Chain A
Amino acid sequence: MYKIQFFPRERISTIKSFAISLASILLAFLVSGIIFVLTNVDPILAYYSLFKSFTNLALLSESVVRAIPIMLVALGLALAYKANFISVGGEGQIYVGGIIATFIVLWNIQNNIIPEPLFMPITLILVFLGSSIWGIVPAFLKAKFEVNEVLTTLMMNYIAQIISNYLVIGPWKDPKGYGFPQSQAFPQYARFPLIPNTTINSSIFIGLSAALIIYSILAKTKFGFEVKVVGDSYPTAKYAGISYTKVVCIVMAISAGLSGLAGMSILSGVIGRLRPDFSPGYGYTGIIVAWLCNLNPLIIIFGSIFFGGLLVGGEVLQSSMGLSVGVTDVFQALMLIFTLSGEFFKRYRVVWRR
């Protein structure tokens, strides 16, 4: 009889680590391939459609558009996870950001107080701050009353989404919208300008700068050091005199602020108005991206584009082969499962023994 044993590795070579990542991704392809076959779809053709987004410039540009909110959410979550604060609140924070942005837009349409050139900077700041307050709530509850953050952040997602949907079918419904559940369109000054010759809007630069900022916070600052200590060992942080409450509240303020900006980037960058359920689960995709990219802010840039591409590919698949968009979800989930399992093999080595 053979016996499998696992031993912790002290370190792992880059090549091996890369090989394990690659193997995990290939296995994800293999297993989802089986699912394709079971649903009577040619897997080769399916993968071809799924990855078409990376070969075709128009589709690639569309993938980057999808990547922006994913990137912002994933960056915020990565920071929270570094502090071992397991937030799943990105989705709700997207809606909060969207609500605040829409509020300011509608208010300014009526009152016309903020001058046009200042409108976007001011709105960005207010959206960030407003979402931060939303994000501090679960952090504070956790720090002061030990309330589980997974539950609070998850539940708050529903609250935010339902409020947003209520506003759009109720008080904020466009009176001239032929009864459609949507707000008035955002005026031009409330939209992110497009990068010439692409469909990519300029909020991409917010995402890229956020990646650099989060990276620098973690790698270079005192606060980043505190985050790492809190995340690695809560008792050590307490012993070293680092305030847990301060650290998680700031972390969640930043995390939720970025997700709020993600919400605004969807409305001001793509849709141009508030609509019900305007986020197709970017808040949850962000969780996957953050972990897949090993919580590394710079890798998250590419991870988001990859997942943006998968979303676009999924839609191509849907239109060209009549498959449900759910297929992309299955594929995403398999990617997550296999990559996380791959992480296990990066930390342990396997020995087969008789």
Chain B
Amino acid sequence: MEKNIIELIDIVKTFPGVVANDHVNFSLKAGEIHALLGENGAGKTTLMNILYGIYRMDSGKIKVDGREVQIRSPRDAIKLGIGMVHQNFKLIPAHTVTENVILGSEGSRLILDVEGAAKEIRSLALNFGLYVDPLAEVWKLSMGERQRVEILKLLYRNVRVMILDEPTTVLTPQEKKELFISLKEMCSRGKSIIFITHKLDEVFEISDRVTVLRRGKNVATKVTRETSKVELANLMIGRPVVFEYVKNPLKPSGIALKVENIRVLDEDGNLKLKDVSFNLRFGEIVGVAGVAGNGQRELAEAITGLRKVYSGKIYVCGKDLTNLSPKKFFENGVLFIPEERLGVGTAPNLSLAENLILKTYDRKPFSNSILLNYKEIQKFSEKLVKDFEILCPSVRVPVKFLSGGNLQKVVLARELGSPVGGDGHVIVAMYPTRGLDVGATEYVRKLLLKMRDEGNAIILFSEDLDEILSLSDRIFVMFEGKIVGEMLSHEADIEKIGLMMAGVMGS
């Protein structure tokens, strides 16, 4: 058996009110890919931030090569050969790949040898299959390429241990495949990798061993091929989980939303939607797949009235709402679950109750022509808290103190529980389960299916293809501001969707 190059022993880290890591043990062997699996908030990233010197642990020991070490900063970690790629990349967009890679490790010489560095980077890139032009400026690169730059940064610093925090979230299926090939190549050359994820499939695709964290505790470490998806899921959640969603047969009834040749500009005047047209019917879920930044945000904002269209028409239930205010859209039954829950979907310092009436505060019974009626607001919000199972100390708590799952429930409760529009609504859901733990994800998905069965029209933007495949009736694929593919979900093929997302083929 290979020896452990890293050992984390009895790590404890607390944040106010939370024990993020509760006596966690973890070890990494030379040359292995070790998956760190857990729901959001299980303490995976915290544990790795401790190893990388970003957080200081309250107690515990870190051993590298069998010797106890103090890691006070990422600089210390890098010196010990440990590097980390964060979920949010830390690159300077205006600089080139090479400049980003060498930043911080220029040495003490006066003259910067950029060309030499670029050469070295090119050869590293070739060796590990991390194709990216060393002289390209980072802002021109795709998210997949930026990730390669982050990895090259670590390889350039000659780290032995690489921590990757949820690296596949920003990738197309093809890019993900390429990443996995590169990772295996690195391992065969003696690097060790810690792979943080909450996706079970990835654990089986890539890892040799897996450690499961649940609520800050490590519940098990397993050799991957000796375990199963069901076992890991149970360990991760602490109870059995539904993987398949029961979907009732499609019963569409009339067109809810009709979008005709819309063109939309972004803040800088670039065309972000190029002649997009589609229909959305009551009683169906349409899933929109695509790599982030291909016009999904602009489309969602256009069909909820938040962004003006440059040309084209938008009809809701046959009514022309083109370029009317978000308020008008809401009043006509267009409900929006935005991408950012905190800061768009809710106002952080306002109370739960205030956030629940954010869109209906100006109507009866919540207010008369001037004054708010706090009694009615309280009554209404307590009812929603109960109906949507929102966990909170009281309806007066500022929503910034709620967890991601509860916050999403606040948004859902307001959008779906507010008295507006007619019978059927158009629900625009942007990444509604992003960052949620498995329990909350299950809740949101089931709720969306229930809304569909009740005859609402739903358009679901998601980066999780499994989510799109299991919930949608039809699937659109977006690439560079166009819907490049449309298919029925039971005829969909994940490979084909991936190629469309990458712009390689359109239907």
Chain A: residues with CB nearer than 8 A to chain B? 3, 5, 7-10, 220-225, 228-229, 232-233, 235-241, 349, 353
Contact = CB atoms under 8 A, between A and B. Distances in A.
Interface string B220-242: 00000000000000000000000
B344 A228 contact: no
B246 interface: no
B89 interface: no
A236 B361 contact: no
A168 B260 CA distance: 64
Contacts of B142: none
A229 B347 contact: yes
- A229, A235, A240: residue with the most chain B Cβ atoms closer than 10 Å: A240
Interface stretch (B271-279, B309-317, B364-372, B379-387): B364-372
Contacts of B349: 232
Contact of B306 (A3, A9, A239, A353): A239
Nearest to B346: A236
Interface stretch (B172-180, B181-189, B324-332): B324-332
Given A220-B372, A236-B347, A9 B326 contact: no
B346 A10 contact: no
Interface size class of B (residues with CB under 8 A): 20 to 34
B361 A222 contact: yes
B39 interface: no
Nearest to B351: A228
A240 B350 contact: no
B344 A232 contact: no
B327 A241 contact: yes
Contacts of B336: 239
B347 A10 contact: no
- B15, B330, B336, B361: residue with the most chain A Cβ atoms closer than 10 Å: B361
A220 B371 contact: yes
B358 A236 contact: yes
B343 A233 contact: yes
A27 to B, nearest CB: 26
Contact of B347 (A221, A224, A232, A353): A232
Given A233-B344, A236-B345, A222 B350 contact: no
Given A229-B347, A232-B349, A240 B359 contact: yes
A7 B55 CA distance: 12
B338 A232 contact: no
A228 B343 CA distance: 13
Contacts of B15: 7
Given A235-B344, A239-B336, A241-B359, A229 B350 contact: yes
A286 B372 CA distance: 29
Contacts of A228: 347, 350, 354
B231 to A, nearest CB: 37
B269 interface: no
A233 B350 CA distance: 10
B365 to A, nearest CB: 13
A121 B338 CA distance: 49
A239 B342 CA distance: 12
A197 to B, nearest CB: 39
Top 4 A-B pairs ranked by shortest CB distance? A241-B327, A232-B347, A236-B347, A233-B347
- B15, B338, B349, B370: residue with the most chain A Cβ atoms closer than 10 Å: B370
B107 interface: no
A241 B330 contact: yes
6 contacts: A10-B16, A220-B371, A221-B371, A222-B367, A233-B347, A239-B326
A221 B359 CA distance: 15
A238 B371 CA distance: 22
Contacts of B326: 238-241
Nearest to A229: B347
B371 A9 contact: no
B485 interface: no
A240 B357 CA distance: 10
B97 to A, nearest CB: 32
B345 A239 contact: yes
Given A239-B336, A239-B338, A241-B330, A225 B372 contact: yes
A228 B56 CA distance: 37
Contacts of B17: 10
Contacts of B361: 222, 225
B370 A222 contact: yes
B367 A232 contact: no
A220 B372 CA distance: 6
A228 B359 CA distance: 14
B348 interface: yes
A232 B350 contact: yes
A235 B16 contact: no
A235 B344 CA distance: 5
B139 interface: no
A285 B56 CA distance: 43
B344 A236 contact: yes
Interface string B369-395: 011100000000000000000000000
A70 B51 CA distance: 54
B340 interface: yes
A230 B306 CA distance: 16
A235 B343 contact: yes
A232 B358 CA distance: 13
A4 to B, nearest CB: 12
Contacts of B344: 233, 235-236, 239
Contacts of A240: 326, 358-359
A314 to B, nearest CB: 36
Contact of A225 (B338, B348, B354): B354
A221 B350 contact: no
B358 A229 contact: yes
A221 B16 contact: no
A235 B330 CA distance: 16
B362 interface: yes
- B340, B344, B345, B347: residue with the most chain A Cβ atoms closer than 10 Å: B347
A205 to B, nearest CB: 23
A243 to B, nearest CB: 8
Contacts of A241: 325-327, 330, 359
B401 interface: yes
Contact of A222 (B56, B306, B345, B362): B362
A5 B349 CA distance: 24
Nearest to A228: B350
Nearest to B329: A241
Contacts of B343: 233, 235-236
A12 to B, nearest CB: 12
A133 to B, nearest CB: 24
Given A7-B16, A241-B326, A221 B370 contact: yes
A83 B345 CA distance: 18
Given A222-B372, A236-B347, 17 more contacts: A3-B56, A7-B16, A10-B16, A220-B372, A221-B370, A221-B372, A222-B371, A223-B370, A232-B349, A233-B346, A235-B340, A235-B343, A236-B343, A237-B347, A240-B358, A240-B359, A241-B325
A353 B57 CA distance: 11
A112 to B, nearest CB: 39
A82 B190 CA distance: 57
A257 B141 CA distance: 52
